[in-house]
Amino acid sequence: MDTVTLDLLRRAHECAERYVTSLPDRRVFPSEEALAALDELDEPLPEAPTEPARTLEVLERVGAPATVAQTGGRYFGFVDGGMLPVGLAARWMADTWDQNTAHYVMSPVAAKLEGVCERWLVDLLGLPAGTAAGFVTGTTLANFSGLAAGRNELLRRKGWDAVEAGLYGAPPLRVVVGADAHAAVHKTLSLLGMGERHVETVPVDDQGRMRSDRLPRLDGPALVVTQAGNVNSGAFDPIGDVCDAVHEANGWVHVDGAFGLWAGASPALRELYAGIEKADSWAADGHKTLNVPYDCGIAFCRDREAFLAAFRASASYFQWSAHRDPMNYTPSMSKRARSIELWAVLKTLGRSGVARLVDGLCAHARRFAERLRAEGFEVHNDVVFNQVLASCGGDDELTSSVLEDLQSGGVCWCGGSTWNGTAVIRVSVCSWATTEEDIERSVAAFVAARRRASGS
């Protein structure tokens, strides 16, 4: 390899090393100065080439200070996981290899690792033997994949081939979701041609769990979407009960388990997870609870043939093999080899390591909630997984002021939401890097922000 390329790789490594070592002391959200400095990037496209080293220098000098420190221990927003070191290292290797994984012949190693990860994950999460897995960008596309397979299979049961005939003139298909279903579910249903007007909604309890006793009467095949991990409270729907009712009517149950599906790796959370294996398809993010680098979504489907049928495509130049051809398992054809860093994380942690990771996140969430309560904040949810919803005693104006202070202060970063009509601060504990010291610093930031906001 030429010396220019090697020098650039060394420079990039040095930049990365400086960034990683700065994380403990780095602001979680950029300062106003760092955000203002981004204006330097707003320039016309250069007429002449720029020296590659100069390009990297601008990225580090201007770009790095304006990043959100999501890989540190005090980022608690949007259920974004951290990044385990072995995942980062494997990602660098994968990026260096730059594999396109549409066909086995394009990347035998990526296709092989997809098959290995599929087998490992199905076993780890307690899903039915033979379940298929596709590796996509995130849970939105994983939901899309599982629901596409479910839609097409239910239409097939009604005598309609959606792949061949599309939805023009197709028999109606009932779609049922919980009242607290994630926005990604509604977006996915819209993309699949099942508009909001026709989606039936099931009431939820005070923790956001679908009430299985309020499911509509199903007189035929229906597509029902459940949730493993409410995006606000972390609560799990009674998925087993829902499956029993839906399957009696020959329906399909999908589980949106972006971060909560990983509860299946923890023996301590079996009660929370009970019955989830009865579903027909599942969606999860490796880049959330498992702390694999972005992006890493996983779609699972019990019926392998239904899954493959949803994504088949043909062309004269395609080259099939006797091995796994990854494009058959996802909506995408060309895609990066995300199985490489996923495999590296699973290989390194092993079954017990994944369980410790999941249990550790849950323990930190409980600790965070306990410390906030001790400081006079109100916690609005049962902390069953990694989510904490807190407020200043139900005072919406004060809660919103505290949140604004926290988001601009740099010590930690949390999101905001509304829960049962009350403004709350949403704490998502999702990084392997979070320590008890990070929690104490963050709770102290909550207290200081409340003091400033209340003027006392």
Q: What is the pLDDT of residues 397-426, one digit of tens each?
A: 999 999 999 999 999 999 999 999 999 999
Domain ranges of the chain: 3-68, 89-345
Structure tokens at 153: 């299979």
Structure tokens at 186: 């509604």
Residue percentage of the chain with pLDDT more than 90: 98
Using pLDDT thresholds of 50, 70 and 90, give the confidence band for residue 2.
confident
pTM score, whole prediction: 0.97
Q: CA-to-CA distance for 164 and 175, rounded, in angstroms? A: 22
Q: CA-to-CA distance for 117 and 115, rounded, in angstroms? A: 6
Residue percentage of the chain with pLDDT more than 70: 100
Q: Please compute, for residue 131, the number of CA atoms within 13 A of its CA located in the half-sphere on the CB side.
A: 27
- Asked if the model's pLDDT at residue 456 lies above 80, the reply is no
Using pLDDT thresholds of 50, 70 and 90, give the confidence band for residue 380.
very high
For the chain, how are helix, strand and coil distributed in percent, rounded to 5? 50, 15, 35
- The stretch 48-56 carries a mean pLDDT of 96
- Residue closest to 171 by CA, chosen among 186, 190, 152, 185: 152
pLDDT at 407: 97
Structure tokens at 102: 């549409």
Q: CA-to-CA distance for 352 and 223, rounded, in angstroms? A: 35
Would you tell me which CATH number, out of the four given (3.30.565.10, 3.40.640.10, 3.30.70.270, 3.40.50.2000), belongs to the domain 89-345? 3.40.640.10
**For the packed helices 139-157 and 304-311, what is the interaxial angle rounded to 10 degrees?**
100
Q: CA-to-CA distance for 255 and 263, rounded, in angstroms? A: 13
- The stretch 248-266 carries a mean pLDDT of 98
Asked if residues 171 and 155 have their Cβ atoms less than 8 Å apart, the reply is yes
pLDDT tens by residue, 134-193: 999 999 999 999 999 999 999 999 999 999 999 999 999 999 999 999 999 999 999 999
Written as one string, the DSSP assignment of 285-352 is ETTTTT-PPS--EEEEES-HHHHHHHH----TT----SS--GGGGSS-SS---THHHHHHHHHHHHHH
Tokens 């959200």, residue located: 29
Asked if residues 78 and 431 have their Cβ atoms less than 8 Å apart, the reply is no
Asked if residues 58 and 40 have their Cβ atoms less than 8 Å apart, the reply is yes
pLDDT at 259: 98
Q: CA-to-CA distance for 209 and 221, rounded, in angstroms? A: 23
pLDDT at 1: 57
Q: What is the CA radius of gyration of the chain?
A: 23
Asked if residues 152 and 306 have their Cβ atoms less than 8 Å apart, the reply is yes
Q: CA-to-CA distance for 268 and 258, rounded, in angstroms? A: 19
pLDDT at 382: 98
Angle subtended at Cα 144 by Cα 173 and Cα 135, rounded to the nearest 5 degrees: 145
- Asked if the model's pLDDT at residue 272 lies above 70, the reply is yes
Using pLDDT thresholds of 50, 70 and 90, give the confidence band for residue 39.
very high
Angle subtended at Cα 143 by Cα 292 and Cα 222, rounded to the nearest 5 degrees: 150
Which H helix or E strand runs over 252? strand 252-256
**In Å, how far are 38, 136, 169, 320 from 149, measured between CA atoms?**
43, 15, 19, 22
- Name the 3-class secondary structure at 202: strand
**In Å, how far are 147, 154, 226, 276 from 151, measured between CA atoms?**
6, 5, 15, 20
Longest alpha-carbon distance in the chain: 73
Q: What are phi and psi of 268, to 5 degrees?
A: -70, -15
Structure tokens at 21: 């070592």
Q: CA-to-CA distance for 364 and 439, rounded, in angstroms? A: 8
pLDDT tens by residue, 328-345: 999 999 999 999 999 999
Backbone dihedral region for residue 416 (phi beyond 0: left; psi -120 to 50: alpha; all else: beta): beta
**In Å, how far are 45, 224, 298, 367 from 302, measured between CA atoms?**
49, 15, 13, 37
Asked if residues 83 and 434 have their Cβ atoms less than 8 Å apart, the reply is no
Using pLDDT thresholds of 50, 70 and 90, give the confidence band for residue 455.
confident
Its sign, for the CA torsion 321, 325, 328, 331, is negative
Q: CA-to-CA distance for 166 and 447, rounded, in angstroms? A: 56
- Name the 3-class secondary structure at 433: coil
Backbone dihedral region for residue 296 (phi beyond 0: left; psi -120 to 50: alpha; all else: beta): beta
Q: CA-to-CA distance for 301 and 393, rounded, in angstroms? A: 43
Asked if residues 359 and 366 have their Cβ atoms less than 8 Å apart, the reply is no
